[in-house]
Amino acid sequence: MRKRDSKLFCVSAVTRKETRLRLLFHCIGLSTLGSALFLQGLVLTSIIENGYFRGIEQNPVILYSEVLLMAFGIAYCAFLVWHFVVLQLARSSD
C-alpha cells in the first residue's frame, strides 16, 4: 500500500508542476502581449505629437532582453493562433 500511495503522490506532483508551468507560460505571454500594446500606444502618441518617433537604447543588456521578449511574444502569438484556430478547425471538421 505504501508504494501505491507514493506513486499516486508523484503523479499528482507532476500534474501540479505542469499546471504551474503552463500558468507561468500564459502569464508571461499575456503580459508580453499587453506590454506590446501599451508600448504601441506610447509610440503612436509620440508620432501624433511630434510627427516622428525616435528610440535609441544604449544598454546592451536591456536591448538583448527586449529582443528576447519580442521573440517570446511572437512565439506566444503563434502558439495562440495555432491553438485556437488550427485546433478549432480540426475539431469542427470531425
pLDDT tens-digit readout, 39-69: 899 899 989 999 988 888 899 998 899 889 8
- Widest pairwise Cα distance in the chain: 73
Q: What is the pTM of this model?
A: 0.66
| Nine cell digits for residue 17 | 508542476
Q: Cα–chain-centroid distance for residue 69?
A: 9
Mean per-residue pLDDT, 15-20: 86
- Checking if the pLDDT of 5 tops 90, the result is no
Q: Cα–chain-centroid distance for residue 92?
A: 26
The pLDDT of residue 16 is 83
Burial code of 56-90, b = ≥16 C-beta within 10 A, e = fewer? Answer: eeeeeeeeeeeeeeeeebeebeeeeeeeeeeeeee
